[in-house]
Structure 1
Amino acid sequence: MSFHEVRFPADLSFGSVGGPERRTDIVTLTSGHEERNTPWAHSRRRYDAGLGLRSLDDVEALVAFFEARRGQLYGFRWKDWSDYKSCAPSKQISGTDQVIARGDGVTKSFPLIKTYRSGLHSYARPVTKPVKGSVLAAVQDVEMREGVHFTTDVETGILTFVEAPMKGLEVSAGFEFDVPVRFDTDRINVSVASFRAGQVPDVPVVEVRV
């Protein structure tokens, strides 16, 4: 897959609008009841990068980034300011934020996930683009040291321990992460006059599977 390991300028994504979307197929039966199903195991996020622009210098930075990605051709990292931590936005990351697995005494590598809970239900979101240097890990609440006890592949979100966690022990992690995205357009329309009047270009961005 064509992907550039570079983040869209975080100061430009701040102020953008977006979030997760789901695809649900709904069939209404003759009785009036509904049957609902989804072909998607995971949600997909969409954003509008244009809403984070505040000056003509911002527009120039956007155009440069867009051109370097060749429009929709290459994916890139995006910081979702509303959801970029393994913990609540107001808290500090810790190695016990997210339970990602239980040891079996053999497996050394584990994919990072973030679990969303509401009531009795939950959803485990794969995290494939952790931020370099932000990952913390623990085994049964005992903090591990990156580079000593484990390593992280920031391009895939795979955490690998030097020694496999013992069977039954809880493996957890904390991290910041980006969303893998691409531009959802091959064209950007900018009017200098309208931008100075308070209007910004529509620059759609969509999450990609990696």
Structure 2
Amino acid sequence: MSFHEVRFPAQLSFGSSGGPERRTEIVTLASGHEQRNSPWAHGRRRYDAGTGVRSLDDLELVTGFFEARMGQLYGFRWKDWVDFRSGSRDRVPEATDQVIATGDGTTRAFQLVKTYASGPASYVRPIVKPVDLTVRAAIDGVELFDDFSVDLTTGIVTFDDPPQDGAAVSAGYEFDVPVRFDTDFIETNIAAFEAGEIPSIPVIEVRV
């Protein structure tokens, strides 16, 4: 897939709108009861980059970024200011934030994940775009420093030695969302912009 490992200007995504999307198929039976099913194993996020644009300088920056991505052709990184850390948004990541796997004595490589839990339900989200120099890892609660590596393009953590059988493998990190523009056209009107009208610049998450 065509993807550029470059982040959309974070100062502009800070003011954007958007969030996670799910797809649910609902069938209403003759009795009035419903059958609900989701064809998606994972949610998909949508954003509007236009709502983060506050000046003509911002608009110029977005236009340059859009042209460099050739519209929808190339994906890029996006910082979701609501959800960009393994733990709480306002806390620096710790190596024990997320249990990502259980060691088996053989496997050395593990996918970063983030678990969202509420009541008896939970959802495990693969994290594929960790941020450089933010990933921390631990085995059975003991943080490691020079004994692992991270692929920043896939979110795979590889340990020098396989964690022992039954050991809890955990990690903490910051991450971006892989996205692309969901349009090949940005309509700008300087007069309208100065009057308070902001162009809509849709962005959508992509599977990588």
Give the TM-score of the pair, scaled to structure 1. 0.98
Aligned equivalents of 2:125, 2:186: Cα separation in 1: 31
Paired position in structure 1 for 2:166:
168
Paired position in structure 2 for 1:90:
90
Paired position in structure 2 for 1:74:
74
Q: Output the amino acid matched with 1:161.
A: F
Q: Output the amino acid matched with 2:2.
A: S
Q: Deviations over 1:8-34 (max 9, x none)?
A: 000011110000000000000000000
Aligned equivalents of 1:189, 1:82: Cα separation in 2: 27
Q: Output the amino acid matched with 1:185.
A: T
The worse-fitting range, judged by mean Cα deviation, of 96-105 and 194-203 is 194-203
Q: Output the amino acid matched with 1:209.
A: R
Percentage identity across paired residues of the two chains: 64
Q: Deviations over 1:75-121 (max 9, x none)?
A: 00000000000011122210000000010000000000000000011
For 1:4-23, list aligned pairs within 5 A.
4-23=4-23
Aligned equivalents of 2:76, 2:160: Cα separation in 1: 30
Aligned equivalents of 2:31, 2:56: Cα separation in 1: 57
1:197: Cα distance to partner?
Answer: 1.5
Aligned equivalents of 2:173, 2:92: Cα separation in 1: 10
Q: Output the amino acid matched with 1:48.
A: D
SS of residue in 1 equivalent to 2:193: helix
For 1:51-130, list aligned pairs within 5 A.
51-130=51-130
Aligned equivalents of 1:104, 1:86: Cα separation in 2: 24
Aligned equivalents of 1:176, 1:57: Cα separation in 2: 28
Aligned equivalents of 2:5, 2:42: Cα separation in 1: 22
Aligned equivalents of 1:138, 1:151: Cα separation in 2: 12
Q: Output the amino acid matched with 2:39.
A: P
Aligned equivalents of 1:47, 1:36: Cα separation in 2: 26
Q: Output the amino acid matched with 1:196.
A: E
Q: Output the amino acid matched with 2:104.
A: D
Paired position in structure 1 for 2:177:
179
SS of residue in 1 equivalent to 2:66: helix
Gaps of 5+ in 1: none
Aligned equivalents of 1:197, 1:168: Cα separation in 2: 62
Paired position in structure 2 for 1:195:
193
Aligned equivalents of 1:86, 1:115: Cα separation in 2: 9
Counting matched residue pairs gives: 208
For 1:21-40, list aligned pairs within 5 A.
21-40=21-40
Gaps of 5+ in 2: none
Aligned equivalents of 1:91, 1:13: Cα separation in 2: 20
SS of residue in 1 equivalent to 2:166: coil
Aligned equivalents of 1:173, 1:200: Cα separation in 2: 39
SS of residue in 2 equivalent to 1:104: coil
Aligned equivalents of 2:62, 2:92: Cα separation in 1: 31
Q: CA RMSD in A?
A: 0.5
Are 1:156 and 2:154 an aligned pair?
yes
Q: Output the amino acid matched with 1:180.
A: P
